[in-house]
Amino acid sequence: MAALPVPDLHIPESSNTVNVSIIDTTTSIRGVDAWKFLEPSIPGHEYLATLAFAFLIEHPKLDRSMVFDLGLRKDWWNCSPFLLDRFKKGGYVLNVEKSVREILEHGGFDATKLEAIVWSHWHFDHTGSPAEFEKSTALIVGPCFKDNLLPGYPTDPNSSILESDLEGRLLIELSFESGLKIGEFNAFDCFGDGSLYFLNSPGHAHGHICALARVTVDPASFVLMGGDAWHHCGEIRPSPYMPLPDTIQPVPFTSLSSSSCPGALFEPILRDGDPAKPIYKPSTQTKVQMHLDPEQAVRTIEKLQQADVQENILMVAAHDESLLGIVEFFPKRANDFISKGWVKTARWKFLMDFAKAVGYEGEVVGRGDWSAPKEPQV
């Protein structure tokens, strides 16, 4: 079928850029059921990949820097009692090898210079431990955070946010009332120079935001930091702007960049049989509600699809396992992703999760086992 024209996102012109590094936070959470986040259920994809990416954003002209998300805190056993009970009841197996601060410092970045931590949203696998950074490092959150999520623990015994993470730290709640728009998103120009925008992206959680960073000028290119606006690329692809192609290259099950396979192989998993409709949508089940507003989450995804089809935007969701083996991590930068072909190589790699559903019986390269081990969590 014919694709809709690639939309103009009307991103203002600017000669200013930031440097962006993708951080592998070394987070691993096993045993997260896919049905809690995605629908419909597809055989062979019973567990959601729950690694976690964060980002170091550096503005070289202004000598300012911030991190976007922190993954899970290394000492996860020091989370609030509410969260610890949730981990136990959910049967999750958690592990973090290094904190984000340790990763930054081992990579040669002076973490004492960090201006701010930005939380895409308040969920535990994104908030890390702000307390490991100086009090001078501000915390930036999305709209309505204070009204809906404060006070934290222990004032509110049922909160997942620790008051000790906020104590003595400037808390900045973003407003998106300026009228600035990027595509269909209400936007906020972080540095006031067109190098970094925050995008209001509600639906999954209170105050959820994405970030769009300009990393090159000629040609212009951008990194979109998605947080949990989508948990799996099957929620944004295929789309009306990018239907399932006749040929998938490279084959998502292998590491051979020259390989290809027919797109028709994946027709059995198309939602409603529609090659222009995402395979998944945010789960609407109410047994365990993982999305604040599933309908609003869908609207956010529809806006993201307009960015996803752009060849000059690298889309990075926090838990996108399909990017492993393709992108490079901190201390390397993502600025030159166009010349390295990351967008084209990664675009359909997520289809590796549907090997069983389409009858592929070989080894799937790059896909981890995210089921919970039988051994109890220590």
Q: In 3D, which of 210, 232, 229 has the Cα closest to residue 39?
A: 232
Mean pLDDT of the chain: 96
E-state strands within 142-299: 171-173, 181-182, 185-189, 196-200, 209-217, 220-225, 247-248, 261-262, 281-282
Q: Is pLDDT above 90 for 377?
A: no
CA 207 to CA 364: how far, in whole Å?
A: 36
Give the model confidence (pLDDT) of 25-62 as tens digits. Answer: 999 999 999 999 999 999 999 999 999 999 999 999 99
Question: For residue 378, what pLDDT band results from cuts at 50, 70 and 90?
Answer: very low
Report pLDDT for 376: 52
pTM passes above 0.75: yes
Q: In 3D, which of 365, 358, 356, 361 has the Cα closest to residue 47?
A: 356
Report pLDDT for 375: 63
Distances (CA, A) of 97 to 73, 102, 328: 10, 10, 18
Report pLDDT for 2: 85
CA 114 from chain centre, in angstroms, equals 21
In sequence order, the β-bridge partners of residue 54 are 23
Residue 210: HSE in the Cβ half-sphere, 13 Å Cα cutoff: 30
Which residues are CB-contacts of 310 (< 8 A; sequence separation ≥ 6)? 6, 9, 222
Report pLDDT for 288: 86
What residue ranges define each of the domains in the chain, with the CATH number in brackets? 19-354 (3.60.15.10)
Question: For residue 182, what pLDDT band results from cuts at 50, 70 and 90?
Answer: very high
